[in-house]
Chain A
């Protein structure tokens, strides 16, 4: 359920990406820093979570799956 909402937010920034399969959002520079700022702003607002610098690493932000997992983990905390 987190994943659907995450993909919805990602699609607002780049509608053309296949988020089910894409694993290189940061590494392939599909998302630049301005996109990241936009997406994280939306995630913070939508889920009322705090995302810190330690979370903002390519391993987490490279795919919709890993972003959704982070959101889930932060929501539980």
Chain B
């Protein structure tokens, strides 16, 4: 039985030492080369950091080296925490205060910025010059167990402070195994990565590649603004598999990109992280009638995804594609408002998940953890945790789950998971701001901010928010109002506000 995710790397380096593991337009790693750099990084970390299972922040743009840094941290029995380099300092500081990283690995370009978040900052090019010590590493890992954390990924928090989801080896191994087997990823696959590494949508690209001894190429982010470059990348590198957010696939369908270039090796097309517009799916399906299309669903808290739907049916542009059934070794079920299980088709319930995929909760945030990771109300007999996703769904007549909506103020905007409360907290931090409320306009896919202020305007608010929030969290529409309506409890009346959208 595997107990450490890096066993996949050791195995691939033995089976396929000279095969390309990860590449981008500038660099590439073979499996053997990757393993040797991982050991060098781990050696240095073990020498310097005496307490294992500590957080190490990774402060680098996406590249094959970023993955060597991740695995180097894991090989030292610590866990990595990737940071979006576009995240403003104020938000990185919120994470730093919650996490207290023992070290940061960065590149020379971001060194000066990284120094403000930790006293111990390694530059990648320096740390990989360490001489590897195999005995030191194996001694450190002898005591490791499969419930040690591998990574912490931060996601939007409703109170304004991001929440760090802690995931251990067992959950990640379980996910990688089930996903590769059910979807049929093999060593002959070449995967084109779209998702940033600070999103768990990238787990498939990173870890299924490692498990199968496949190859993964990182598509430069700017190619996603220029469809011909994007399709040229897929063609040039003979990409067989993509696992993208629907917004990225829309980039191709919107411009009818396959009229110009139709990459001819593509055979597995997987999407998730937000609902797929059926029109976009139909465009891809028309162009790839023989490819396997898979819709995924799952929040970060249950390690990647928990359901999948291999699409064999036809859908009208107006129909919703189901999110499907659970992966093997994962149980997904619906609970109604009285915590009773929903089994009949058409009845709405909250999606709840249990199994080895359950993460270990939010880092240094027990109150929030206990709110959503709870004892299974259907089981009074022994300890059994479930995760309450806050997503509402129903069964269709085939027993497939169909996503309906959130039960709170979390939204999915362009593939990003955002708590409207986090935006509101940032808006309210602006002096002179009297009151504010954010709504999401689902039809137009826009974040709408209603605000009450005598002096602030659209551009001053936008400017201030860009210092506090990532760009995708910044409202698209600003509506100044004299008075934000309140309900009888003195809270913002969102129903009334929504009428004025």
Residues of chain A touching chain B, judged by Cβ–Cβ distance below 8 Å, are 12-16, 26, 29, 31-34, 36-38, 40-41, 44, 51-58, 61
Contacts and interface: CB of A to CB of B under 8 A. Distances in A.
Contacts of B231: 53
Interface in B213-265: 221-222, 224-228, 231, 247-248, 250-251, 254-257, 259-261
B260 A53 contact: yes
Given A32-B221, A32-B471, A36-B225, A53 B248 contact: no
Interface stretch (B104-112, B182-190, B455-463): B455-463
B255 A56 contact: yes
B458 A52 contact: no
Nearest to A44: B254
Given A33-B251, A34-B415, A37-B251, A54 B260 contact: yes
B228 A15 contact: no
Q: Which of A13, A14, A32, A54 has the most CB of B within 10 A?
A: A32
B471 A36 contact: no
B371 to A, nearest CB: 31
Contacts of A57: 226, 228
Contacts of A58: 225-226
Contacts of B459: 15-16
A71 to B, nearest CB: 15
Nearest to B478: A15
A38 B445 CA distance: 9
Interface in B280-321: none
Given A16-B466, A33-B224, 16 more contacts: A12-B446, A12-B476, A12-B477, A15-B458, A15-B462, A16-B463, A26-B222, A31-B225, A33-B251, A34-B247, A36-B225, A37-B414, A40-B254, A53-B259, A56-B228, A56-B255
A14 B231 CA distance: 27
Contacts of B445: 38
Interface residues of B, number: 33
Contacts of A14: 462
A62 B439 CA distance: 30
B472 interface: yes
B225 A52 contact: no
Nearest to B463: A16
Q: Which of B231, B256, B261, B415 has the most CB of A within 10 A?
A: B256
11 contacts: A12-B446, A15-B459, A26-B222, A33-B221, A33-B247, A37-B247, A41-B254, A51-B255, A52-B259, A53-B260, A56-B226
B155 to A, nearest CB: 18
B26 to A, nearest CB: 17
Contacts of A34: 247, 414-415, 472
B130 to A, nearest CB: 34
Nearest to A29: B222
A38 B414 CA distance: 10
A53 B221 CA distance: 17
